[in-house]
Structure 1
Amino acid sequence: GVGVRVSLSDESVIDASLVVFSAGVRPRDQLAREAGLEVGARGGVVTDLGLVSSDPSIYAIGEVAAVEGTCYGLVAPGYSTAEVVADRLLGGSGEFPGADLSTKLKLLGVDVASFGDAHATSAGALSVVLHDASKGTYAKLVVSDDASTLLGGVLVGDASQYAALRPLVGRPLPAEPAALISPAGAELGADALPDDAQICSCNNVSKGAICGAIAEGACDVPAIKSCTSAGTSCGGCVPMLKKLLEQSGVAMSTALCEHFEQSRAELFEIVQVTGIRTFSGLIAQYGKGSGCDICKPTVASILASTASEHILDGEQAALQDTNDHFLANLQKNGTYSVVPRMPGGEVTAEQLITIGQIAKEFDLYLKVTGGQRIDMFGARVEQLPQIWQRLVDAGMESGHAYGKSLRTVKSCVGSSWCRYGQQDSVGMAVLLEKRYRGLRSPHKLKLAVSGCARECAEARGKDVGVIATEHGWNLYVGGNGGLTPKHAVLLAGDLDDQTLIRYIDRYLMFYIRTADRLQRTAPWQESLDGGIEHLRQVVCQDSLGIAEELETAMARHI
């Protein structure tokens, strides 16, 4: 039978059993059309190899340029066109050198990469394919007719070998083709690549340039990015940068700062084992100096994660950032914003009236936040105690909108109001927010609960996301915003309430114990050996035998 009905813009309808979406870049060439420049059959400003349009005074670069009729929707060719035009403007005669169309994408949680002659169009090309349906992976290497030279390839489901294989296109293979894509086969190390092999295709950076930067003192990935630009565009070559650092014998420091040689995770264990409850006691015994703006808030967070003393009691108060100390967010004009907690987005009429009265009395700007709360901007520091007294009297408390801790648990209205709701998302969101409020962690935590797969609470953009199913709850972890947004990935499915909460307890406490300073859950998951599968074994199967310990630690917090 027909599985899909497609309605077109002219109101005609096509019945289909499968729809394939082909997404790409469409050139924005309206200006060129209005100016009377020649455009390509599929759009884009037509240029010659010198990037000159049909008007000799006008150049076109990037994705809007149709170089000899072809538009390139990738960053590397865009940079090449810019370099050619820069050369022409300085009196040179540079021409577009062609494009490396290799790319690595992530589509709805599936790694996809292609490089070189991915479709085996070269004369005599042979394809070596490994398809593992059980793991959802597919790998194809295209090689010369004598299987000695790599011509291209396609990786789906697991693109971890992309950074190592792409620079070898056109070069002799260091091992049998099948061994390079087999899980039990040869590991392709950085030492197998010649110095002129291109590691970063986006910015055209060779292995030799990167090794040279390391030799001159670039001792970590950010330093390499800074002096070579490698890894600053798509980031696909970052794993290879780490391999080159390891190969060069560079010891990656895990020291928290100049005052503590230990990492954050090591300091966490020290605090737990020794029972030290002050920063001064910890630095006297395990560090040096008087501390700094890196180690003081970090240790304050660790102390708060391992006990429930008031964060402003005694020495603790001096360790806090300004925002934590004043229970408000410092804004760019020197005033503060106040955010009371509204678990699950719920609020009473009396509380809303109180917020309105406070805003009117103190002349504050009101904004509904992305986490379903009300933010009050423009309070002076001496007004904060008066504002908080009014809010506390109305039954409200700090929303921790400033701390490295739980921020919000967002929810839709779920089965309580929505006709599509499959579970009570509001009730679960309120339960989770009250359970984890005040939980100090390496970085901020945001949660969400959606009552059905329509995902109105946007749970897959959160550190912990819960989506209702007909049979219970699906649990997603590791979704973040920020500079590199990530979708959360499925940890476990169709869970009952008790199992869901138990898994979230374990996940959050495992993160709090082992993550680096200011490391969000998404990069923390990626840094774990074994990634999400290892995390699933720890949280769901208790492979390390620490589940009870993690749950007990969370119970102490609660």
Structure 2
Amino acid sequence: MTRHLVVVGYGMTGHHLVAETRARDGAGEWRITVLGEEDRPAYDRIALTTCATGRDPDELALPAPEPGAATLRLATTATHLDPAARTVTTATGEAIRYDALVLATGSRPFVPPVPGHDAPTCHVFRTVDDVRAIRAAARPGRPAVVVGGGLLGLEAAAALRDLGMRVHVVERAPWLMALQVDEGGGAALARQITALGVEVRCGASLLSVDPAGVDLDSGRIPADLVVFAAGVRPRDELAAAAGLARAERGGILTDLHCRTSAPGIWAVGECAAVEGRCYGMVAPGQRMAEAVAAQLTGDPEAAFPGGDLSARLKVLGVEVAGFGDVHAREPGAVEFSRHCHTTGSYAKLTLDPESETLLGAVLSGDTRPYARLRALHNTPLPASADRLLLPST
């Protein structure tokens, strides 16, 4: 007998779950219904910045399910979940019964609750509609402030710079991209970004916002436009209202199989706190989706293998990469770093001094050694550290 799978959320993780389930469900055991809040199908949110300068958002669309593979209910918000009755109710009052439910509700932007945070000049950077609003408000030559110096904040800064605005990035942490790189890498990144015309102010706390600018604990910055990109918070309100367990810091609590505290309900992606930990990147969400799809199609022991938080990317034209123990937190770990003052590039290896095992690495400005170093993660070095940091061997 055909069973009904309901997926709440149709971002990149929800899309991957549907694709994986369909690919594994050769017997056609599942009928799938997807509820998505946005009025458009799933799209590549990583490439959202390109829409700021005119790219058609439709070009970001992920491959649509084959005809009959799933029923997509776009512009549909799930407002109530009843685990006992196994139903999800939408904003129109329609109750949809499920045999299995996967919550892929993602996350929402964090907006610091400072005075003026809801002023008309303030925006967030999360969806196609957000980017459209920013593009409409941008004025070439005028000042703008991005609150947040992580990956999302730097993406927003790139969009504003491409729109011709004079951009300041404000980050509360001591350096940029503090989750992905160490202090040396963050400082090198800041120098390179500053040379490209984007002002950076780290270690600064936002106090208030008004239509003419922002006030920090270190002074005032004029701004016609403010973009909040200071992190995200998991969308766990639907699950919480239904009595599902939540992690201490938010997120729908799951085990390693992504199973929630309610039978027949899983959570994947940024809304899920796997054994209490949330992962704010696409790759771990896709691994969760694959584990759940495998369970739904005959492999009940399939589990989330853990999140690979390595990253190699280009922000504002500057190459940055990091993996493993970038902050040398392993007991006894030592660091080997080199900084090229001519090019501004920075590189660091974190090592176990006894076994000379590579525990992690940070690269800023020149990431050509990344692939070679990534392949050596958790293995003894085959050559000296300085030789491995050369672009080629």
TM over 0.5, yes or no? no
Q: Which has the larger radius of gyration?
A: 1
Relative to its length, the structure with more strand (as a share) is 2
Q: TM-score, length-normalised on structure 2?
A: 0.41
Larger RCO: 1 or 2 (CA < 8 Å, sep 6+): 2
Relative to its length, the structure with more helix (as a share) is 1
Q: TM-score, length-normalised on structure 1?
A: 0.30
